[in-house]
Amino acid sequence: MARLLRTQTGKTKCCSLHTVAFLLIILVLVLFGWNVSPVLWGQWLRAPPKPLQLRQGALASPSGSPSPAFHGDGWRALPGPPSSTVTFSTSFPSTGFPSLRSVMQGIRKAGADRNDVLVLTPWLAPIVWEGTFNTDILNEQFRLRNTTIGLTVFAIRKYVVFLELFLQTAEKHFMVGHRVTYYVFTDRPAAVPRVPLGEGRRVVVLEVLGGPRWQDVSMQRMVVISRFCKQRFLREVDYLVCADVDMKFRDHVGVEILSPLFGTLHPSFYGAARKDFTYERRPRSQAHIPRDQGDFYYMGALFGGSVAEVHRLTSACHQAMAIDQANGIEAVWHDESHLNRYLLDHKPTKVLSPEYLWDQQLLGWPRVMKKLRFVAVPKNHQDIRAT
Amino acid sequence: MQGIRKAGAELLYPQPKVLTPSRNDVLVLTPWLAPIVWEGTFNTDILNEQFRLRNTTIGLTVFAIRKYVVFLELFLQTAEKHFMVGHRVTYYVFTDRPAAVPRVPLGEGRRVVVLEVLGGPRWQDVSMQRMVVISRFCKQRFLREVDYLVCADVDMKFRDHVGVEILSPLFGTLHPSFYGAARKDFTYERRPRSQAHIPRDQGDFYYMGALFGGSVAEVHRLTSACHQAMAIDQANGIEAVWHDESHLNRYLLDHKPTKVLSPEYLWDQQLLGWPRVMKKLRFVAVPKNHQDIRAT
């Protein structure tokens, strides 16, 4: 996760007087908020519609002769929902999801389960945050289809040192209960650790040559994954997840991420304006995105989808990088720049929140992150990149 | 610029804001991560571009048996204004009175196909027979002619945008009388003898039979399954309380839809008014005299 070191350039620090004033304002707002919160919530708890005047004949009559005096073809008139059925969660559920019952009772509810974040892109792709999904329902759906997931990871030269923790933690948190194949691409196959694996899970070690610089290694992943899609993945797995290796799993990463094509929000940019995204800005590059365009800034460290879609994505990125190379230009963030161009043109069918790609050392643990699922492993960049 | 970049103007639109929910008053995602389609959740331009790129064709099925032919004109006229405008559309009008199907001026890339069927004896039979007819025509016709099917009641009119935001492999629509109700109060079929039976502690939503759809393959599966289930019930001497709608609900519990439409897409203003949570009323009931329209 080398790229995580990019943070937005901060504004110059405020003078201490501003800071104190700011803190005082916050204090006042908090105190004020406690007192008026019932009122605020109450506004959102819209009063149920008035009990409707039913025509003679009352409610849904069982099938039989159509009653002339009642709206009998399905448009049943019911009094509005009793206020007890309109629920909202003020506290955050500690497990994956509030009871299905309480959620289903309150479609028309004050504050959806996540009222602090966007959970749907403008093209109606889910943005996956804790609280939006029920793991049991999803697991059942994917187990019914005997879904197999491939996880690709590249460990070139010294990066093999990350493999053990990566695989061990994946065994605890990644697609548990489903069939998994880890595809470990490495130039040091003997250095791949033997990690105890759960049932239905296996490691496939594939030998590759490592590019000279870390940027080359990063970019070569595109052509290698693309090639292996046809050669292997198409026949062996249903979905591919392509991840950086200098990471570990610390919480659930499951089938909620699976869809034809998904990208992950870069944890340094999820709150940024698009003009500040570190897209490639030079028009000469195939990865170029102008400042008034772009949906999100996706990170190259985690993307995936169906084998067919990952094949299309990696092939397109590889081609684009080859054209750039022929034109003597290298995109500012390499494969990640091209990934962003591709996902602008081919919008993902799911977007993963930064829960799925985090760096706690760099970014702490903000309130909006209810779980930190897949996180950077601290490393010495100079050290690890020296051949 | 060389290479694979496409020429021409790119679509410009406001940046989606990750820290700002699109609707803070309603659920916009089911627990299985299917979008619930409400106004404010989607950008029509982006979606239109996606679906036009694939030259998407949408089939809209509607049944007009006996006196129900009287609803066709307004249905088709308002569909021309609001339904999938800019995309290829085929209206499949199933009727026992083909001569009574009105000629309505149609936009480009849109056509009406009239298909003659026999109408079942009671309105409940007409409602239920839609399942077997749609199922049969999926293989016979729809698979070759359209990408998506939308199956709608005819005694309705469009009064606002109904577009490609609804399209997905399988979708159902929230019944406007039950979107706030507890599942124990849903009018599911409760008798265990019926194939449509759903116990009181189960169920996601109460879907209305008046609007459902999806890919041709998925609609074929749904309608076939419902038809089979209704046939089994008939053989066992039982008829589900809300007929095809009961079976639809059982099916969508077992085969969760990939999109759910909010009650904006199925409303009755006369009965339910215009609550604040409905930002648009898109597809609404046309007032009718039940006794009159159902008399042969």
The answer to whether A368 contacts chain B (CB < 8 Å) is yes
- Residue A10 neighbours by CB under 8 Å, 6+ apart: none
The partner residue sitting opposite A103, judged by closest CB among B31, B33, B285, is B31
Q: Which two tokens stand for residue B213?
A: 């759809």
Question: Which residue from A122, A132, A296 is facing B46, i.e. has the nearest CB?
Answer: A122
> Does B268 carry a binding-site annotation?
yes
Using a CB–CB cutoff of 8 Å, tell me whether A73 touches chain B.
yes
Model confidence at A53, in pLDDT bands (50, 70, 90)?
Answer: very low
Residues of A with Cβ-Cβ distance to B259 under 8 angstroms: 124
Amino acid at A72: G
Band of pLDDT at residue A192, cut at 50, 70 and 90: very high
Binding-site annotation: residue ranges of A: 154-156, 159, 244-246, 266, 278, 336, 359
Q: Is the pLDDT of residue A87 over 70?
A: no
Q: Measured between beta carbons, which residues in chain A are less than 8 angstroms from residue B25? A: 44, 46, 108-112
Predicted-complex ipTM score:
0.95
Hey, what are A260's tokens?
A: 């034809």
In order of A184, A269, B264, B291, B295, the CA distances from B73 in angstroms are 63, 52, 22, 21, 20
Residues of chain A with Cβ-Cβ distance to B47 below 8 Å are 123-124
Which tokens hold the place of B247? 């079976």
- State how far the Cα of A196 lies from the Cα of A167, in Å rounded to an integer: 9
Active-site hit among B165, B189, B245, B264: B245
Instruction: Encode pLDDT of B201-247 as tens digits.
Output: 999 999 999 999 999 999 999 999 999 999 999 999 999 999 999 99
A255 to A118, A138, A179, A341, B21: CA distances (angstroms) = 20, 7, 11, 26, 24
pTM value is 0.85
Q: Residue A23's pLDDT band (boundaries 50, 70, 90)?
A: confident
- pLDDT interval class at B9 (50, 70, 90): low
- Per residue in A239-273, pLDDT tens? 999 999 999 999 999 999 999 999 999 999 999 99
Of B10, B177, B276, the CB nearest to A293: B10
| pLDDT score of A332 | 98
Which residues of A belong to the active site?
336
How many residue pairs from chains A and B have C-beta atoms closer than 8 A? 210
To the question of whether residue B201 is assigned a binding role by annotation, the answer is: no
Distance from CA of A236 to the nearest CA of B (A): 25
Residue type at A181 in one-letter notation: T
- Is B245 within any annotated ligand binding site? yes
Nearest CA to CA, how far is A298 from chain B (Å)? 13
Query: Which residues on chain B are in Cβ contact (under 8 Å) with A295?
Result: 15-16
**A50 band by pLDDT with thresholds 50, 70 and 90:** very low
Asked if A350 is an interface residue toward chain B (Cβ–Cβ < 8 A), one would say yes
| Residue whose entry in the numeric block shows the structure tokens 């496939």 | A204
From CA A154, how far away is CA A169, in angstroms rounded? 16
Query: How confident is the model over A60-78, as a mean pLDDT?
Result: 41
Give the residue from A45, A103, A108, A114 with the most B CB atoms within 10 Å of its CB, the best one to mutate: A108
Q: Which of A46-60, A343-357, B122-136 has the highest mean pLDDT?
A: A343-357
